[in-house]
Amino acid sequence: MPKQVRIVDVGPRDGLQAEPATVPTEAKVELIHRLADAGIPSVEAGAFVSPKWVPQMADSEAVLNTIKRRSGTVYPVLVPNMKGFERAQAAKVTEIATFSAASETFSQKNTNCSIAESLERAAPVCAAGLAAGMRVRGYISCALGCPYEGDIDPAKVAELAGQLLALGCYEISLGDTIGVGTPSKAAAMIQAVAREVPIDQLGLHFHDTYGQALANILACLELGVATVDSAVAGLGGCPYAPGASGNVATEDVLYMLDGLGIETGVDFAAVVAAGQYICGVLGREPTSKAAQAYLAKAA
């Protein structure tokens, strides 16, 4: 079990891009500031993708050009291709994320290309990012299951993770995109991937569709994984994964880690307040159980 865990809050990107309505730029900026001020070391700030396909992220340049960057916090963005990279570079981004999927069908549905083609797209992006002095992170979708293909062979995930590592990714974030994983399956997947990528270069990106995300994270922490992606207030989903609910809530992850005596350097109450803020903008309540309990007790 690690003594410290690094939290990557993906709410401002992965969370808000799943919203049916576009969130105002100033609200995104405020959310990012609140998360950074709470001590989150990595706040995913946007995505340089086609505004035609993801209109919710069309203002990523404005967001990155407006935020006041806090020392000690990184603001990664998703970059699917060289056009996106050029936009990210112009916005003075220091960390980018590229992505692929462990499912051929999902890859086609999500990005209209095969897994092999997704790696071909990622290669020049990674090379350009590294040449520009950026850090590059890799995402793998459907690491524990696909809405179209069902169970995914851990060996397939491991092979893909190794390929992303070879492209220069400093860390590979393993996504249970539709939240179907269970602790034993999550642990088996991590064990397989760790044969290709060092355990300290792996991250977890679990959705909570079946209420298993915390249990799955715990199973992987016990194997030595020390980076967890989460979204404030449990924001998120996946438009190409029917039935997928939001990411595991940052508040719930923080509460569990604190109970385990694992340090994060994050202010739980400040994250709850950030969740309240963005849920107020969205007109709904946070899905985080820990946030709900904390707020009820405070009231």
Indicate which residues carry an active-site annotation.
238
Contact 138, 165 (CB under 8 A): yes
Contact 233, 248 (CB under 8 A): no
Contact 29, 66 (CB under 8 A): yes
Residues 6+ apart with CB under 8 A from 252: 213, 214, 230, 234, 288, 289, 290, 291
- The span from the CA of 220 to the CA of 262, in Å, is 14
Give Cα 112 distance to the centre of its chain.
Answer: 21
Tokens of 108: 């086609």
